[in-house]
Structure 1
Amino acid sequence: MAQNARLAALTDELIHSILKFDPHTNKQAYKHAKDIASKGLRAHQYARTNQFDVQSSFTGLEEKFRVLNRDDLADALDVRVKEINQRRGKWIPEFLSLLLQLSDRPTENSDVGALELLRPPSPPPELTWKQILEEDPYSDEEIWKDIDYGGESSEDEFFKKKQKGKGTRATSVEEDDTYDPEACVVLVDVEVMKELEESQFWTYELRDEEEKVEITELQAVRETLFMLAGLQSSLYLNDKQSNSIRVNHKYVFGHAMQKTADHLLAQLADIGRALYRLRQWIKRPSSLPLVQTFEAAVQKRLDEYDRMLANLQHLYLVPKAPISVSLLELHDQIRTGSRPILRLAQLVEDIEPQLLVNPFVHLETLFDQISLAQMTLEKDVFDFLSCVFFECLQTYLKPIRRWMESGELGLNDETFFVFENDSSSEVSSLWHDRFVLRRGQENALRSPTFLQPAAHKIFNTGKSLVFLKELGIYGAGLNSSEPEPRLDHETVCGISSEMPLSPFPELFQAAFQTWISTKYSFASTVLREHLFSECGLMRVLGHFKTLYLSANGSIFQDFADAIFKRMDEGQRGWNDRFLLTELARGIFTPALNRTHADKIVVRSVRSKARNQFVKGLGNVYIDYALPWPIMNIIQRSAIPIYQQISTFLLQTYRIKYLVQRVSPRSIQAIGNTRLRQLSYRLRQRLIWFTDILRSYLSEAVIDLSTEDMIVAMKKADDIDEMASIHMKYVARLQDQALLSENLKPIHKAIIQILDLGVTFAVAHSSRAMPTRTSATRPALSSRAVSSSKTSKFSKSSRRKSVIPAIVEDDSSDSDSDDEEADEGAGSKAPAASSSEESVEVLEKEFGRLLPFVTAGLKSVGRVSAEPAWEMLAERWGWEERKGARSFG
């Protein structure tokens, strides 16, 4: 309420300053003005000024002044901007922004000379003794006159009046304010001084090298504590070149055996040597943040260790109760208290040569040493190294946190395992090409080994945020209200005094997965929902199934029949891409609707020869314009496989289309009984073969694989998993549809069988309609014509895997071709006899190729454990055996 009242008062003051009239004279106008002002102020959102934009603006102004030859103005502006930036204040960007907005053609209206008016006046010069003496010199006679310190002064008069006013007792100070300076001097105890000098054993001068100096155990304790703290001591010698510490053997104990004492001191020197090397390593700082954090953690542990040594010194210097001085007891205390830091010192010594190559090797080594300490039940070492590990891990988590929260990478951060490979890559390949994982030798991921199980999830989270930024929906509900869980020793290992039962790697992975889930789930969920709802991923997959995989058989049949009709008309432009595109859009519109049907583009490869065989259908393929977010899932490499499957389906449709045009009634009209039986048999076998193939492709391959893919796609968490599912789906389609490279011989044999159907249809059309002109007769391909010139129908001259073509007889406009065919055959046979032999050749070629296909499918089916191939081989083999019994 106080805030609203304050805003109302300020609004009234603003209206008074602008309107300049009394509200009591015109209440309606005043009320209207107040409503307008209140609405404007309430709706306005005051955002802070962007300080970087302000700095950029001033930099641009300075460059502009120099370009316009106003260096004086640019220099003045630069000096004052730097001066104001040195001052601290949160409103400085607003002040600078206000100055920018108030500026009016500074190059024309600005005068640098006017700045002198703003310069504050110079302070007066400092007064010196020379100036004082010049104005009021003193004489030498006056300066040496004695002063009467005992004379009465105004102070004395005041003191006397005060004494008269109050009768007080005289104090000792009033009686005599002088004192003896010798009373402040403390006399030196000669015995204490002598004892102190005798305790300085290091000042003793030895007469010869073999002479020893006897010291007390308390002195040895003090020297040992000095040595462990990194200070100079006489009992231990420090070799700075080799970074080693050894015992000075010229000092001995009078109450202990020399060898025993030397052994004890040598063990303490070993501890001090490791600590000294650790202290020396700290003095060589690194420039890498990760190593700097590790150095700070080590320095912190050294400070704690020094405090422990200081407490021991205090125990011996100022004991609260009488204690026994024992170097052996000190050794036990030092060995117990130094065990964790000695383990850390050994770790630093081992990894020091590798830090320049692998800046996070200390994290990996700490992780391994923590696991080892847990297995050996060293609780103090486990807690000590665990705390160091989590302190160092926080620095490595900073780029991970920035990547997973904002999708940003640090500038030239070589320690992070994600880097931008191609910033100019197309958005259609953003997910797969723009960012990659940093890898080292042997393709190993450049990250700590304990983080590698979660590396892909971290990688995908950042890419999801970049993806959302490209979609323009970044920031919409992405800020998780759930606080970030802590990742430290207390959270992961607990605060119990006992060793945790679960292995440390499992504890860490569980805590780290919890830490990641707070950042991963939001971005991936929002992106996944957008792809499904806004981009229509499932709808696009359904369109692909309709276009390429014959999901709607009737529409695909209409499209195939339209293409076959244009092929059979014999026109050279039957595969014109513009006409085929319009044809495809018109046919597929009922299934896809007009908007999506307009994305269909039919492309074709022009061929000089009019190819009527099934391979010619491979020159026609369908494209579909995908939105760029979907192209990151349905990648470009998958489109040719879709087109191969579509072509294979068109080829099977083509054979069924041609063979069905050979009606049983036209075969029944054949006068030759043998030829009629062969034609019935071949027609039935070709239809049976193509029906089984179409059924296999549609039901066993496409439907089952698509159903599994849809189920897996709905469960996918991110684009990476979606793209992987789709690529596996496409690879499975290619493999089961017999289109993969290792099944190429089997596919080639199937295509040859399909080409037999084309040859049979053309042969029957040529025999049944001899009166048609070549313009109305189905056009033979160049392959058929060339084969007709060289084929011989005698069994001895047939070549293996050659599909014979039928020579067109009784044609009025192909006499030259007939003559060439007669020359190739040796002698011209009667029409009926030639047709009978040609159909018999086709029948035998079919009987040769089919066993090869079935045997190959059974073989690869057993090797690859693919039951679909064996099922297809069994169906073809069973029908073949049944047909052989029926027609045998």
Structure 2
Amino acid sequence: MAHNAQISALVEQLIKSTIRTLSDAEVEQCKHSVLNTLVEAKSSRVNQFHVRDRLDGLVEKARILNNDPLADAMHHRLAELSTRSTRWTPEVLSLLLDLSDRPVHDTKLEDLVLLEPPSSPSALTWSAILADDPLDDQDDIWNNVDFAADGSDEEEVLEANGSDVAEPISDPNWLDIDSAEARLEDLIQPQDDGALREIMDAQFWKQQAVTSTMDQLGQDKAPMITLTELQAVRETTLMLLDLPTSIYTVNDRGDVLISPIIGIRHVSQGSITDLLQGFAEIGGKLRKVRSWSRRKTAIPLEQKFQAAIESRLLKVDHGLNKIQARFLQPQHQPNPSLLQLHDEVCSITRYMQQVYNITVKLESGSSAKLSFDILEHLFDKICANQSMGDEGGYEYMAKLFFECFQVYLRPIRRWMETGLLSNQDQVMFVGKSQEDVPLDSLWRDQYYLIQDANAKLHAPKFLHVTAHKIFNTGKSVIFLRNLGYEEGRSGEEYFDANAMTYESVCQLADFGMVSPFTELFDMAFDAWITGRHRSASLMLHTKLESECGLQRSLDALEHIYFFRNGALSTDVAFKLFEQINHGELEWSDSFVLTELFHKTFGATACIDLECLEVRSVTDTTSRDRLRVKRSMDTLEDLQITYLLPWPIANIIPAKSLKVYARIFVFLLQIHRAKYLLQMQRLPRSASPTVDRHILHLYSLHHRLLWFTDVILSYVTDMVLSASTIDMRMNMRRAEDVDAMIAVHEAYVSLLQDRCFLTQENAPIHQAIISLLDLTVLFSDVHSLYVSRTEEARGASTALNMTRTAERQSVDSDSDEDEGNNELDNTSEHSHFKPELANTGRLVSMSDTFGKLHGYISAAVHGMSKANSVPCWEMLSRSLAVGGRD
């Protein structure tokens, strides 16, 4: 309510000072409108960057209008303002900009003279004094006085007293200490015992009631000792300073206890007990914090935390000493008060009690995670203080946190700069394998992130987001070193420019308690590591592209495995298919296969022939030659191996090349099916009876050829080509090697899924291979029909030659005989017309094709509806067209 009343008064004052002609009713109406506007307003603070842009715009506008003096004056004062800004500076500048009217045109530089502070008076000098009031030496007052000219009685007395050998001292009480007869008792003067007795009576802690009487009689029967409030105050301050006292004791657990037989005049026993108990609790917490800060440890971060606590305990002790000094001087504090002392002690030790709560949590935590627990508890306490609006506690804990965090940053900085780890870095979350790994798996297997039993990162929880970037930066430096590039310690400029301190993190934007600490810390820490990470990653990316041949290796894999050059790839495939069709067992010989690929790809610049090897995993001499010829599974025995450079092998591992090889076999199987169909020449006959049988042959051939073309177009154009273009684009945009590996793994996974090579799509892939196997069976049926047709044509030709000779020897002019001869000729000729061989097999193959094609079409259609993949939708439509008779 007080805040609202203050705002209302300020609004009313602003209205009256702006418009002086308003009546009281109008002022009240305007004030009500303004207050409603403020209540309904959604914006809380002015955008300081927008205000800065407007001011810079005014400076630029003044220069454009050829008013450089005004622009210089504004620029000078903006620079001066940046060093004296407060949290309300953006609001004040925004108000001035809103109230301004044509500032560039109507501003007068002469008015700036009125803003200059008055000049300070010049220093007073003797020359100025003498010029104003010259010395008058008429009375000789500045001459030196000769005191030896005139004597006096005092001088004589001084001379007499100053002479050491004038006369011996004849004092009867004087004792010559150097004499042998001197006694120690003669040096002690008797004193009054009354003052000593008063002092001993005031030392209540020496009384028997506090020492032995309590032990003998118990607390209930022990006599009560009454103290003054000043004595209680002094004892309390001594206890808080961890000094021994009489009214406070310490048990074995370190808790501070109060004596129950201590009382204070004019204060009830219950009240004084509760008050002293409050002091005892505070003193116990301080005592445990002191004890915790003095324990021995070998962990650097814990040592830093102890040193930071000790420095803050020293400030607490200074505050308590000031209180004690004030009470020791009664003229400054005539009436000591335990209640006042309690308020002051709570104020001084408030944040140290928060530190005590942290140490209690640390005692109950794991010793292996002590360093992380210190940082995490401090971090949580900062956020808690900020959420409660405790600005002092927020600053106190934040400074303590950043002091300790600097120690934690040392191994992180060393790892990011040099890629080195120390065995003493127990707080580091990066580990190294005991054995050296091959260079082709350096990035993946040599270093790893340390995790606990619950699979959580061995690091403070507020670093889990950025830990991976830190990890990759160090690995990039190590990778560059193995490539022969030493980057040195140039990363210091990034760390020094973005120091992680309280001032740079929490006070940089001057937002105070408005911005959450977690966001401020995340932004600052990300800026602290981003520069070094970007530098190392960009350098490594450049090396992989320019010197290690990343794009060249990708091109080689496309040419070898994905038939990128169709002419060369089909040439290799057709030569291989010819050997298989002829039944040559040497087709699977490793030397023959390797020589074939080397001869074909010898002119391709991106392929290193020494790294290319082709072999068959099955011994062809022990296999069925007919099975080799008729089954598509034969091609799965081919294995193509292409050795990549070790830097590229870290990005494209061997398991990815296995997927490449499976795609190559899939393409080879499709090409073989198409090769078999294209090599077939369908028969032509004028006989209607034969044409009805050949219709099955034409129909099945057309449907198989359509399916083969659709699958080949789908794999090459819609899957391999499109996915490879996206992969290369994303590879160039990757920020580090891990991102490049992730891009390629996603690419391989996508190819495996789109080519139906995953475990989930295995039935579809098997159905496609079964349809491709039909082309082999169809080729057998077609070959059998062609061979029988040729035999029938040969027999018919021989018969016709014989009958022609017979007809030439017989002279018959009868039309009836001619008609009978023609019928006989047709009948005998039809005996040699070949019927379509294995018509039942063709029908069965057509049925099998329809079933497999229907299953594949339905499965692809369902997958396209479920996942909305464009390539699957296009394949589904193409298969639907090819399924029509």
The TM-score with structure 2 as length reference comes to 0.70
1:869 to 866, 872, 876: 872
Contact 2:417–2:488 under 8 Å retained in 1: no
Does 2:450 match 1:457?
no
Q: CA 1:766–1:326 in structure 2 vs 1: closer, same or farther (change >3 Å)?
A: same
The C-alpha deviation readout for 1:12-45, integer Å capped at 9, x for no partner, is xxxxxxxxxxxxxxxxxxxxxxxxxxxxxxxxxx
SS at 1:358 equivalent: helix
2:860 to 845, 848, 857: 857
Corresponding residue number in structure 1 for 2:772: 754
How do residues 101-116 of structure 1 correspond to structure 2 at under 5 angstroms? none
Corresponding residue number in structure 2 for 1:835: 838
How do residues 122-271 of structure 1 correspond to structure 2 at under 5 angstroms? 171-176=162-167, 180=174, 192-206=195-209, 209-239=221-251, 241-271=252-282
Distance 1:840 1:530 in 2: 61
Q: CA deviation at 1:482?
A: 4.3
Contact 2:326–2:332 under 8 Å retained in 1: no
Q: CA deviation at 1:753?
A: 0.3
Distance 1:625 1:353 in 2: 55
Q: CA 1:321–1:256 in structure 2 vs 1: closer, same or farther (change >3 Å)?
A: same
Contact 1:560–1:653 under 8 Å retained in 2: yes
1:650 to 645, 668, 689: 668
1:439 to 433, 436, 451: 451
Q: CA 1:481–1:331 in structure 2 vs 1: closer, same or farther (change >3 Å)?
A: closer
Q: CA deviation at 1:323?
A: 4.8
Corresponding residue number in structure 1 for 2:291: 280
The C-alpha deviation readout for 1:782-822, integer Å capped at 9, x for no partner, is xxxxxxxxxxxxxxxxxxxxxxxxxxxxxxxxxxxxxxxxx
Corresponding residue number in structure 2 for 1:345: 356
Corresponding residue number in structure 2 for 1:618: 636
Corresponding residue number in structure 2 for 1:409: 421
1:702 to 696, 714, 720: 720
1:605 to 606, 609, 617: 617
Does 2:597 match 1:584?
yes
Q: CA deviation at 1:276?
A: 1.8
Contact 1:293–1:392 under 8 Å retained in 2: yes
Distance 2:584 2:381 in 1: 79
Contact 1:377–1:499 under 8 Å retained in 2: no
Contact 2:594–2:614 under 8 Å retained in 1: yes
Q: CA 1:480–1:492 in structure 2 vs 1: closer, same or farther (change >3 Å)?
A: closer
Contact 2:614–2:638 under 8 Å retained in 1: yes
Distance 1:669 1:189 in 2: 157
How do residues 585-734 of structure 1 correspond to structure 2 at under 5 angstroms? 585-592=598-605, 596-606=608-618, 607=620, 608-610=623-625, 611-612=628-629, 613-664=631-682, 672-734=690-752
Distance 1:668 1:228 in 2: 121
Contact 1:675–1:835 under 8 Å retained in 2: no
2:505 to 492, 514, 522: 492
Corresponding residue number in structure 2 for 1:289: 300
Q: Which amino acid aligns with 1:694?
A: L
Q: CA deviation at 1:219?
A: 0.9
Q: CA deviation at 1:570?
A: 1.4
Contact 2:669–2:772 under 8 Å retained in 1: yes
Corresponding residue number in structure 2 for 1:546: 559
Q: CA 1:522–1:498 in structure 2 vs 1: closer, same or farther (change >3 Å)?
A: closer
Q: CA deviation at 1:364?
A: 1.0
Q: CA 1:365–1:480 in structure 2 vs 1: closer, same or farther (change >3 Å)?
A: closer
Which ranges in structure 2 are unaligned for 5 or more consecutive residues?
A: 1-158, 178-185, 792-832
Aligned residue pairs total 658
Q: CA deviation at 1:771?
A: 9.7
Q: CA deviation at 1:731?
A: 0.5
Contact 1:480–1:518 under 8 Å retained in 2: no
Q: Please, which moves more after superposition, 474-483 or 386-395?
A: 474-483
SS at 2:298 equivalent: coil
Q: CA 1:319–1:588 in structure 2 vs 1: closer, same or farther (change >3 Å)?
A: farther
SS at 1:589 equivalent: coil
1:536 to 543, 549, 568: 549
Q: CA 1:258–1:465 in structure 2 vs 1: closer, same or farther (change >3 Å)?
A: same
The C-alpha deviation readout for 1:531-582, integer Å capped at 9, x for no partner, is 0111111221122122111222222211211211221221111111112112
Distance 1:587 1:739 in 2: 28
Contact 1:478–1:523 under 8 Å retained in 2: no
Q: CA deviation at 1:489?
A: 1.6
Distance 1:741 1:502 in 2: 50
SS at 1:233 equivalent: coil
Distance 1:375 1:621 in 2: 64
Q: Which amino acid aligns with 1:357?
A: A
Distance 1:495 1:868 in 2: 52
Corresponding residue number in structure 2 for 1:130: none
How do residues 487-526 of structure 1 correspond to structure 2 at under 5 angstroms? 487-494=500-507, 499-526=512-539
Q: CA 1:747–1:198 in structure 2 vs 1: closer, same or farther (change >3 Å)?
A: same
Does 2:317 match 1:302?
no
Q: CA deviation at 1:408?
A: 0.8
Contact 2:441–2:650 under 8 Å retained in 1: yes
Q: CA 1:531–1:352 in structure 2 vs 1: closer, same or farther (change >3 Å)?
A: same
The C-alpha deviation readout for 1:720-739, integer Å capped at 9, x for no partner, is 11011101100000100111
Contact 1:285–1:295 under 8 Å retained in 2: no
How do residues 40-51 of structure 1 correspond to structure 2 at under 5 angstroms? none
Distance 1:525 1:767 in 2: 66
2:883 to 870, 880, 884: 880
Which ranges in structure 1 are unaligned for 5 or more consecutive residues?
A: 1-167, 774-829
How do residues 763-782 of structure 1 correspond to structure 2 at under 5 angstroms? 763-770=781-788
Does 2:400 match 1:382?
no
Contact 1:668–1:676 under 8 Å retained in 2: no
Q: CA 1:574–1:666 in structure 2 vs 1: closer, same or farther (change >3 Å)?
A: farther
Contact 1:746–1:856 under 8 Å retained in 2: yes
Q: Which amino acid aligns with 2:291?
A: Q
Distance 1:588 1:377 in 2: 73
Corresponding residue number in structure 2 for 1:139: none
Distance 1:223 1:747 in 2: 89
Q: CA 1:756–1:315 in structure 2 vs 1: closer, same or farther (change >3 Å)?
A: same
SS at 1:222 equivalent: helix
Q: Which amino acid aligns with 2:398?
A: S
Q: CA deviation at 1:441?
A: 2.1
SS at 1:419 equivalent: strand
Corresponding residue number in structure 2 for 1:844: 847
Q: CA deviation at 1:867?
A: 3.7
Corresponding residue number in structure 1 for 2:760: 742
Does 2:415 match 1:397?
no
1:556 to 569, 586, 589: 569
- CA RMSD in angstroms comes to 2.7
Q: Please, which moves more after superposition, 855-864 or 669-678?
A: 669-678
Q: Which amino acid aligns with 1:173?
A: D
Contact 1:374–1:499 under 8 Å retained in 2: no
The C-alpha deviation readout for 1:176-204, integer Å capped at 9, x for no partner, is 57694699989867665444333212123
Q: CA 1:212–1:177 in structure 2 vs 1: closer, same or farther (change >3 Å)?
A: farther
Q: Which amino acid aligns with 1:687?
A: L
SS at 2:250 equivalent: strand
The C-alpha deviation readout for 1:577-602, integer Å capped at 9, x for no partner, is 11211211221233335x62442211
Distance 2:589 2:424 in 1: 52
Q: CA 1:621–1:271 in structure 2 vs 1: closer, same or farther (change >3 Å)?
A: same
